[in-house]
Amino acid sequence: MIKKFIYLIVTIALMASCHSGGSQKSGGEFGENDSLSGDSALPVSKEAMENLVQNISSPVEIASLIKSIGVPFSQKYLAPTKIDNFNTANSKAFNLGIMATDLGYLNIYSKTSLVLQYITSIKSLADGISIGQFFDFTTLKRLATNNENIDSLMYISIHSFNVMDDYMRKHKRGNLSTLMVAGGYIEGLYIITQVAKEHPNKDINDYIGGQKTILNELMLILKNYQKDPYFAQLITEMETIKKVLEPVKITIEKGEPKSVERNGMLYIEQNTKSIITITDEQLKSIIAQTEIVRNKLIK
């Protein structure tokens, strides 16, 4: 009896330590730490390239831009929450990214009644690739059900995705993390191009044109995994969007950065800026191609 009790304690202790290792964010776990002088030249290493994936497509930024120009909420921009067809880890990770963007869009517009459907699907997809423990479903469900504290709802949603992403990177599942980012990116591009179709706006057009640079960075990261057939297919599809973004003209006006203090806050003014020139025809092609690719990828 006593022996069994000891075994039980040891087993539980081992399980507890394994679990905590995943959810904890210890600085010692970061594999990307680099030692260098702040003033030296900074070549972009492979690790840094993988890091670029971070913030490649933030639902907050896209949805805030759309909302700021007065575009009303529309559910038709969102992907369906039916997830039965996603049977592989790759497709689950990719669609997790799709839903992360949709959830961000819902949160910005405070559509808490729809949030419940999306977080249910997200939890299921995350469980399917063994990262569901990092998605704080219970708290999100409570916040959405009670229609309370949108700021907390947004914070917990984004933070949960960051923790899932972080966990996958640190546990040699960078491929799934990359797919999640790619899914989020394509959904963000889809939503904003659909908005551009119905609500022409210079800011939106500028944002879309700027994706020429961003997509180039994402393609570099995707190509790290091109031997995987799922990635190969995804790259082929994304190349078609890259092709229609290629004619967009981006010129750089160089200037010297300046740091200014105003009311106790430090502001860094870049003073180098990009000028984006995008024709109506180019925009139409980007909108059409993004729609084709996104609708194909979420099936």
Partner 1 sequence: MKNIVLILAVLFLSASYSVKLQAQTEAQKVELCSKMAGKDASYLKDFTADLPATKSNEKTQSYKFSLLLQKSTRYRITICTDDDSPGRGYVQLFDKEKMLGSSYNPQTGKEYKSFEFDCQKADAYHFFVQFVDGKAGKAIVILSYVKRL
Tell me if 164 contacts partner 1 by CB under 8 A.
Answer: no
Residues 6+ positions from 299 with CB-CB distance below 8 Å: 85
User: Contacting partner 1 (CB under 8 A), which of 39, 84, 280, 281?
Assistant: 39
Residues between 105 and 134 that touch partner 1 (CB under 8 A): none
- Bridge partners of 250, per DSSP, are 276
| Smallest separation (angstroms) from partner 1 to the CB of 30 | 7
Tell me if 24 contacts partner 1 by CB under 8 A.
Answer: yes
User: Contacting partner 1 (CB under 8 A), which of 117, 211, 282, 290?
Assistant: 211
The residue among 9 and 288 lying less far from partner 1, judged by its C-beta, is: 9
Q: Are 204 and 65 in contact (CB under 8 A)?
A: yes
User: Degrees (nearest 5) of the Cα angle 117, 118, 119?
Assistant: 95
User: Contacting partner 1 (CB under 8 A), which of 75, 82, 113, 155?
Assistant: 155
Tell me if 7 contacts partner 1 by CB under 8 A.
Answer: no
Residue with tokens 């057009």: 205
Q: Are 160 and 66 in contact (CB under 8 A)?
A: no
User: Contacting partner 1 (CB under 8 A), which of 74, 142, 174, 210?
Assistant: 210
Q: Kindly write out the interface string for residues 256-275 of this chain, putting x where it contacts partner 1 by CB under 8 A and - elsewhere.
A: -x-x-----xxxxxxxxxx-
The residue among 28 and 229 lying less far from partner 1, judged by its C-beta, is: 28
Q: Are 269 and 248 in contact (CB under 8 A)?
A: no
Q: Are 205 and 196 in contact (CB under 8 A)?
A: yes
